[in-house]
Amino acid sequence: MLGVMRNPFSLVDLSIILALAIIAVVGYKYSPLLLAKGDLTVEPAAGCDLHTQACHADIPGGGRIELSLTPHPIPVMKPVQVSVLMTGIHASKLEFDLAGVDMNMGFNRKALVATGDGRYTAETILPVCVTGRMAWRATLVIETGRQRIAVPFLFEAPI
């Protein structure tokens, strides 16, 4: 008697594989919304302390970005003014992403508003950490139309 050949994949199996593929593509496409990554990551100048002054980074190919968080020192649980000055680079979009270095403090990203002459501003609040001092990464995410540039600035917040 001839046996009937069974298809090794059922409709349910194919549906699961298709769903996983769609999730992977959507996750890859929208991951920049959750992660402050760029096509290019530029390190800021060494030795700068955002608690006392503005800090800058030079963009390869020309351009400079300067970040200032005020008041000084940077307070927790009070409004903090985020100011950015960009020279030699045009941003179609500029965002400020604040993340705990050693502890997930949730999604905290703000779009900066252009005020003219390469200046951008926003306001944020630095959450308090119940464990005391906390290391933070303030990443500027710059979209230029051609590329996405990430500039991470590290600082610690007091108790």
Q: How many structural domains comprise the chain?
A: 2
Residues 86 and 139 in one domain: yes
Asked, for residue 28, whether it belongs to a domain, the answer is yes
Tokens found for residue 5: 């050949």
Residues 48 and 79 in one domain: yes
**Which residues make beta-bridge pairs with 41?**
150
Asked, for residue 115, whether it belongs to a domain, the answer is yes
Tokens found for residue 53: 């002054």
Residues 79 and 31 in one domain: no
- pTM, two decimals, is 0.71
Does residue 57 register a pLDDT over 90?
Answer: yes
What pLDDT does 23 receive? 67
Asked, for residue 95, whether it belongs to a domain, the answer is yes
Does residue 145 register a pLDDT over 90?
Answer: no
Confidence bin at 34 (pLDDT 50/70/90): very low
**Which residues, including other chains, have CB under 8 Å from residue 129's CB and lie 6 or more apart?**
76, 100, 103, 105, 157
Residues 103 and 29 in one domain: no
CA 112 vs CA 82, 98, 150: distances in Å = 8, 13, 14
Residues 72 and 142 in one domain: yes
CATH of the domain at 91: 2.60.40.1930
Residue 145 domain boundaries: 40-157
Task: Kindly report the length of the chain.
Answer: 159
